[in-house]
Amino acid sequence: MELFKEDFPTEKELLIADGAPIKDVARRIGTDVSERARAKGEAFSAEIATRFVSDFEKPGDKMAHVSTFAVMGDTVYMTYYANTKEPAEDPKNQTARLAFAPLGDMESKTYLDLQTTGDTVGGKVIDMVYDTVLMKKDEHTLYLMWTARAEKNYYRFYCPFDVRTKTPGEIGVNKFKVGNTVNDLSKSGIRAALAENGIPCKKMYSDIGIMQKQSRRMENGVAYCYTGLYSGDFSCIVKSCDLITWEYVAQPDFINDSKWENATFVLSDTVYYFVRQQNENPCGFLTAYHLPTGKWHPPVEIEDCQSRGDFILYRDNLYLFHAPLDREHIGIVKINTEDLAKSEVVLQAKMQTSCYYPFVQYYGDGELAMSYTVQGKKIRLAKFDLHRYTE
């Protein structure tokens, strides 16, 4: 079978949506927080430093970034992309990688390079590699997923990984579905599918991405995984029942300043949504999409340095992790799922190292852990007890 498919030959023109600062917000959550929130932040920062698990970059890496981890059985798996040639975030010199180690022996790591610039896949030469994530397909299978450019078009690739045999399967290309239109999940495929269905699209540029946080919802007896998809200023909610074909769900219907990564989490009939904005904007925004009615909640601005955020559901409460001041700070906001405007800051932490792109996931026995990038060089994992700060 051919790896790449031609885009649906639409004759419709793509509708371009405007981007601008939000005019009407329900509330603005600032960085001038209480002494209690700062004290909790100090404790959180200290706990992350003392409960260090391991670093996962490969010896010899000059740069590493964008982590995702999962614990399955007695092994922790970590994905990221790395530059082995120079200490720079340059997709022309990057590799998509999986690293894993037994929980009881973090020194015994195995490294698997999934794709490197210069590789040939499906007859096309890869000239750029970017965001690399993993998702859990079932109890025995991970899907390793990354962005790469071939012939001036960005694609999302995936590769199944059997955790029993510790072996990867064949590389495939993800699909993007809008209505009855199904294209490769590529920059051109997204644009053509949206155009064919008359759905507006904000300006897309550079790579495309899928957020790594999985949340699930049953729909007509089928389990769907929800997450966020983005490229440049365009961001939307997508869902998939197989982690291969991703279906367009919705994008905010109000004018906003969005840019790059959008965190999502579905609870019952509502998808909670946080996205960073243009660099000169002091805030990201939090909103929610009600699936049965197609209505969006009035947005809440949250002061942010314009970095990647992440949701976690913990003891039946939803929390947002984000970068309130810079990438050496972490803020945690407890989401009021009944009224977003009543969401409150739990803590604001000045971390002991840089803490780029935190990803929060369960580590085992109800414990949480956070993976993050340190100064663009280390992929670090540390455990923490969220209960200490929320109760």
How does pLDDT run across 261-287, given as a tens digit for each residue?
999 999 999 999 999 999 999 999 999
277 in Cβ contact with 259 (< 8 Å): yes
Q: What is the pLDDT of residue 364?
A: 81
27-29/300-303 β-pairing: parallel
Please state, rounded to an integer, the average pLDDT across all residues of the chain: 97
**Cα 159 to Cα 84, 113, 212, distances in angstroms:** 22, 12, 15
Mean pLDDT computed over 288-312: 98
pLDDT higher than 80, residue 1: no
Instruction: Give dist(CA 147, CA 168) in Å, integer.
Output: 17
- pTM of this structure: 0.97
pLDDT higher than 90, residue 122: yes
Instruction: Give dist(CA 260, CA 243) in Å, integer.
Output: 21
148 in Cβ contact with 201 (< 8 Å): no
Mean pLDDT computed over 164-181: 98
Instruction: Give dist(CA 244, CA 182) in Å, integer.
Output: 12
Mean pLDDT computed over 4-14: 97
**Cα 109 to Cα 18, 65, 77, 283, distances in angstroms:** 47, 18, 10, 39
Core vs surface per residue 127-159: b (16+ CB within 10 A) or e: ebbbbbbbbbbeeebbbbbbbbbbeebbbbbbb
Q: What is the pLDDT of residue 152?
A: 95
pLDDT band at 365 (very low <50, low <70, confident <90, very high): confident
